[in-house]
Structure 1
Amino acid sequence: MVIFSFDEPKRPEPHNYRVTFPDLNVLEFQFAAIQLNRLSWRDFLTQPNPIAAALMSKMNISKKERPQVKAECLRLLATLKLDPARMQLISGFVDMYLRLDATEEQSFQATISTMGLTEQEEIMEIVTSWQQEGAQKALEKVAINLLREGMATETIVRVTGLTLEQVQQLQTQPQQNNN
């Protein structure tokens, strides 16, 4: 099975792959091809499956439906009651592949405000975890930059609000390109 997740082209992809020479067929694979950009996200709204919730974000979505699809992906995800690690993995996939601009974000917020209170709270919990994770990564990046500049660990703790242990852990991590 092959899952094609690209946005373009939308033409049907082949269901086989061949390696040949002019007079010799060396290798041939035949597979089921699932081309997400040719599937309707609406067909997966009622599937109690975390993979469906994630992959809906790469299906055939019109520009005006993007906020609704993101809300529906998260609504479906919230109903599945997954453990926090799986929830974060799948919601991160949705957030990465269905990024909304400011106007779409307003429409997304309006869409989730029309949902039932319980669903709305669960979706906002997912969105809040994205924001918290982003804020944590930003603080860590600032701390790493301050460490590179030679600032005292205690000062970095005061400035960033990170714990001493967190700053010390960042100090011992191999230096990566964090620019």
Structure 2
Amino acid sequence: MLVKMELDPARQRLVYGFFERYLTLDEEEEKQLMNEINYMDEAERIKIMEIPISYEEKGIEKGKEIGEKSGKRKVAVEMLKEGLSSELIVKVTKLKKEEIEELKKKL
């Protein structure tokens, strides 16, 4: 329905932002929405995908998590190269012992 309103991009973002902030979808509702989007014609689908608001936020958070974990892994590798114990590396980096052991095997 919002796609058919033909609002300018700034107003679209404002309206979508309101709905995203105050009417968040649970997993089941999100699946239902994605299913409905799949049945839309191509033009409507493209228009919806231009307003990613919550997906931007989720992507940013996921990117931060991945970057943080990657940084911890790099530190762990350097600590392993220095001969530090796995227990100390787990304590400092908060990585799982299995991850440390996996990194040790790759050295």
The two structures have a TM-score, normalised by structure 2, of 0.53
Mapped to 2, the partners of 1:157 and 1:142 lie a distance apart of 11
Indicate the residue corresponding to 2:37 in structure 1: none
Indicate the residue corresponding to 2:61 in structure 1: 128
Q: Which runs of 4+ in 1 moved over 3 A?
A: none
Deviations 1:118-146 (A, max 9, x none): 34221100111111111110000000000
Letter in structure 1 aligned against 2:79: L
Deviations 1:23-55 (A, max 9, x none): xxxxxxxxxxxxxxxxxxxxxxxxxxxxxxxxx
Indicate the residue corresponding to 1:116 in structure 2: 16
Which has the higher relative contact order, 1 or 2, with Cα contacts under 8 A spaced 6 or more apart?
2
1:165-176 equivalences under 5 Å are 165-173=98-106, 175=107
More strand by share: 1
Change (3 A) 1:163 1:116: same
Please state whether the residue corresponding to 1:169 is helix, strand or coil. Answer: helix
Q: Does 1:164 align with 2:88?
A: no
Instruction: Determine which of 81, 94, 107 is the counterpart of 1:148.
Output: 81
Aligned length: 62
More helix by share: 2
Q: RMSD across aligned C-alpha pairs, in angstroms? A: 1.7
Deviations 1:88-136 (A, max 9, x none): xxxxxxxxxxxxxxxxxxxxxxxxx747233422110011111111111
Please state whether the residue corresponding to 1:150 is helix, strand or coil. Answer: coil
The two structures have a TM-score, normalised by structure 1, of 0.32
Q: Residue 167 of structure 1: CA displacement?
A: 0.4
Change (3 A) 1:114 1:172: farther
Q: Residue 157 of structure 1: CA displacement?
A: 0.2
Mapped to 2, the partners of 1:172 and 1:115 lie a distance apart of 52
1:30-179 equivalences under 5 Å are 114=14, 116-117=16-17, 118=20, 119-173=52-106, 175=107
> Structure 2 regions of 5+ residues with no counterpart?
1-12, 21-51
